[in-house]
Amino acid sequence: MADGSPPQRKPRVDAAARRAAYVDVAARVMLEKGLHGATMRDFAEAAGVAKILFYRLFPSREALVEAVYDRVEAAIVGAYAEPWTGYGSMVRRVLEAARRDPVPFLVVLKNCGGGADRFDWGDRLRAIFNQRSRPLFEPRPGAPEGGDARADLAGGTLFGLFVDSMIVWLEERDGLDDAARIQWWSRIVRAWHLASREAFRLDPAKPGAGE
């Protein structure tokens, strides 16, 4: 300027905030158009920016898709990091996290197709679920040989119901409130724990069993 005042600098762009905003937009578009149907052009149009701005933060569409998954995984891992306080406590914390950011959760949970899907989200979330459930199924001394392998299998048997239930809860399709949902879940988990320990032979055989 002619008055000699120093030129004003443009405000710095907060890359982390922009990245988070683009993940928000992408998740909304994926939920609307489908994980495999949504394109980078769709994301850019929904955000009202040039497509090149997305590519500056995400080198490919796959990287942006993975960023949606990473956000959900981090939220689940954070919820699971809290101490276990009783049946249903871990899922209650996951649900609380999902309530704060429901769209990415729905995108990921609805695309947990397991190894058949190239993103293998189902397998990855199942591994997290199994790891957190595993202490419930620790073989006791005297359990039949091979208990560790059976315990690993037992820990994942409720994963499908976890995914399906979380979707229904986030979409409010069951007519329940969250308190009733968690109470229902806690009763299921308690029964699942006891029944699975017995079915997978994780405790010493009772005298006379199998006679």
pLDDT at 8: 60
Classify burial at 2, counting beta carbons within 10 Å of its beta carbon; exposed 0-12, middle 13-18, buried 19 or more: exposed
pLDDT at 116: 42
What is the overall mean pLDDT for the chain?
90
Q: Does the pLDDT at position 159 exceed 80?
A: yes
- Read off the pLDDT band of 117 (50, 70, 90): low
pLDDT at 113: 73
pLDDT at 14: 80
Spatial separation of the C-alpha atoms in residues 151 and 153, rounded to whole Å: 5
